[in-house]
Structure 1
Amino acid sequence: MVVLAASIVTKSGKVLVSRQFVDMSRIRIEGLLAAFPKLVGTGKQHTYVETENVRYVYQPIEALYLLLVTNKQSNILEDLETLRLLSKLVPEYSYSLDEEGICMTGFELIFAFDEVISLGHKENVTIAQVKQYCEMDSHEEKLHKLVLQSKINETKDVMKRKASEIDKSKIEKNRAEKGGYISLQSMGSGRIENGFSDMSISGGGGFGSGSGFGLSTDVESFSSKSKGRPPSSATAPPKGLGMQLGKSQRTNQFLESLKAEGEVIIEDVKPKAGQPRSAAPPPTDPITLTVEEKLNVTLKRDGGMSNFDVQGTLSLQILNQEDALIQVQIETGGNPAILFKPHPNMNKELFTSENILGLKDPNRPFPTGQAGDAGGVGLLKWRMQSADESMVPLSINCWPSVSGNETYVSIEYEASSMFDLRNVVISVPLPALREAPSVRQIDGEWRYDSRNSVLEWSILLIDNSNRSGSMEFVVPPADSSAFFPISVRFSAASTYSDLKVVNILPLRGGPSPKFSQRTVLTAENYQVV
């Protein structure tokens, strides 16, 4: 057999991962992949399509296709065997078999494809061997990196020493040429203190030739005694300090102008001596399960809803390897509109019959990692779509009206009692303004982003005490369409699925390990158009 290319594409024809194995132009390969969606028909049982020159052997993976492009002389049985091996490798490297998960692990999948197919021919390897080959470390590479880093550190040390020597030579040169007078005057006081009396250096009689004290001695005495002394009010700033103060003043003026334009400036506050830097608290539970739902809603400005979509995931994070051989028992809210789909590596029969999430191989542990790693291990995902407007957690009504030379805009929100919403931000686009709009009345806080011409209405918490609220502001005359689309951001501590983790079942016996559950609902794309 000769495999021309191995790819993962969407059903619309978008190429996510592609690996070419023979000498063929890139335009030719792209043309073959672009023609594939047009050749795939619906309702067909076989998983190959032949054209005049090539054969497409494919396998559906949820909403994607795993595709081999071969010549027509290849053995179809070997093609199918290669396709099955690649289909088993994809879940090993990508825990999320969707477009985002495949793109994030694209390089790992390409390396795995290279181990299976070499110059268009299948290698006699197993899944374990492919993973072993892809994870092998190179001792020579590590040694090369260590030597390179050592040279970089040595070069930095040489640069520091050279800079220090240059600074010292400049100081000595100034002392030798100017006799210390300029340096003393630049330090401010114009007087020298020794152990006996103050002596002025501005006159000619302050130092007698027979005084027995050389100039260098008095300079050292002045330097040693002036350490730690607070400067007097008449002290001039050291050399370069005026430039630093001017630079700092210009920087502050620039930051103030940005703040006036509505930009959020985060100041870098250095910690005090002996004060530790603030860090995230260490995890207290060895196992963390996160229930996350993302809400995509499109509301119409005249009322009604054109889109309502909820996508949820249950992810797992384990700190210690000894706690990785487990199963997760869950409980759902029983909503028939929600369709749950476990990960391909999960035992689907066990989940369907007992609501327990466990790997197909009970002797295989879950991956472990530090708490806070992005995403964790995906165990379960679900989706809900609805046309019922009562499912909307927050509705927005905007009423612009022109009166004379002004436009009065009244906005009100109404929140459902299903959720308590946190950190609500309602962003209203405005026509280009020279000044901030005049806000006459508001339930909450507001901020005007002049750079993007957006008025942000913020409510820290919406609960039973403020299920409705309003805001009114005035701007120059503008068309009503200028205030749309309105974007909304918020989060909640409960979800539509009401999924809960009931228990953690250790497969090696013993007590159940301690675990914590985090639940969050976020508005990913929430608009009024």
Structure 2
Amino acid sequence: MGDFISVTEPRKERRKNGQHPITLVYICRTSVQVLCGLALLLETAIGIAVKDSIPVIHFLLLQIPPLRERRFSNCYECAYLYIITNIYPTLYVQVVLAASIVSKSGKVLVSRQFVDMSRIRIEGLLAAFPKLVGTGKQHTYVETENVRYVYQPIEALYLLLVTNKQSNILEDLDTLRLLSKLVPEYSMSLDEEGICRTAFELIFAFDEVISLGHKENVTVAQVKQYCEMESHEEKLHKLVLQSKINETKDVMKRKASEIDKSKIEKSRGDRGGFKGLQGMGSGRLESSFSEMSISSSGSGFGSGSGFGLTTDVDSFSSKPKGRAPSSATAPPKGLGMQLGKTQKTNQFLESLKAEGEVILEDVQPKAATSKSAAPPPTDPVTLTVEEKLNVTLKRDGGVSNFDVQGTLSLQILNQEDGLIQVQVETGGNPGILFKTHPNINKELFSNENILGLKDPNRPFPTGQAGDVAGVGLLRWRMQSVDESMVPLTINCWPSVSGNETYVSIEYEASTMFDLRNVVISVPLPALREAPNVRQIDGEWRYDSRNSVLEWSILLIDNSNRSGSMEFVVPPADSSAFFPISVQFAATSTFSDLKVVNILPLRGGPPPKFSQRTHLIADNYQVV
């Protein structure tokens, strides 16, 4: 069909009119020549405009049976796209020019262009963006003479879309929201190092969301599935191949055991006829019995009965150790069979996981531990404020238990920074009772809110960078029955109608906290298939092994303080949907404890310090 060409430059007459090609495609030269030639022929002979003839010719060519093949139809589709984008580009409007992640200083971390754009131009556009962003403005777009910037702050970074001014800003904002949900899925740490480490994964995800500058109708779960590129045929092929390998190992094991048994029987026969062979040359006897590690001295073979009793035990106990090189592979062979069993078990577990089952083996606690583990500190002094929330809510309303336990821990990397005192500021909550460590000066904390050791000449202990626990300085606890203190309330309303049970679940979040990674786990009766989720604000997942429906919301802030989910299951009692478990995290606490300053006891400038604050739902249930 001809060689492929890259369409990168518009025609000269189109450049005069300001019409430029807005996409980069690789098409077949012959297909373009056929379509353009027929269109120009009709325009010259009959007077039909190219605008009207190109779609008709494209349709008629694809009706010819030989041209219906995949390789031919793809060529003509690309050729048709090339022609309409060069001759009539207004019929095909480009929306997103580039999707990028930049720092607030203008450093480009990741950028994916969806048009043919030089590196100098995209770098110039991205470098000019931080200068255009105003500090006091509430909107999240900036327009220039040629392009529009649609952006969203992500901690210390900007997620940015560069579009033309004719694009639909509502679609751009929808695209931006989808990309903002994808970035935390692939980059666990939203900083420059984390983004650069997962740059290619982010580019692949951007390509699944935006195609030729237009947003695809996909969700976060679909993008993750497309990027994983899992193949059922590949898994099946690997399982069949592994089963053949295991069968071969079993056959080898049986053959090896048969050979060992035959050698043992042969050695027993040789020992029974030893007296008859005693007059033979000693060279063969020495070579045969040296394998059994038995001395060939004359006293050792004094009587036939003594020989028979001793060598039966010695041959079985010492033969595997003193055999020839053929038996030296026996221990690795046994080890290989043990590893084979482990691989077989792992393959079985992997097949269950591929079917959607959740395996609660040793792997899951390790994964949970690594996921919840905080990154190691990098500053000389790190103070961590952590609160664990234990709440039990009643399904009909009210609070059965509300308990907050908090800790302030200190971690020092360098020993020379140990002689310090920590000045803190409490939120003034009268319901919180603070308790200091026994080695902390209580009077100093009560009078001046300063945490220091009783012995001022004694430094705080230091820890390694991997030790994120630190040294506990302060503890506090708060208990209450006030429902207004609850950060998240859940209402579940099951109702039976005919052969179905309609379940409506609503959540309401307090304005005190912005909750992250919220997971609401609703137990369900035993089902043969997943429930029918009719409406949901967020994402859902069905755990068939534990019969639990998980409702996930990435972030709850002022834009979504309330939400609901509706699903349908077979008839069931209302108590089957309780207790409901909730998990979430927040970056603010009830105590509102803040580290004001670090006071060095030796004089000089205070060491650099950082504060980490997080609230965790340790045990949060609706019963």
Q: TM-score, normalised by structure 2?
A: 0.42
Q: Which has the higher helix share?
A: 2
Q: TM-score, normalised by structure 1?
A: 0.49
Larger radius of gyration: 2
Q: Which has the higher strand share?
A: 1
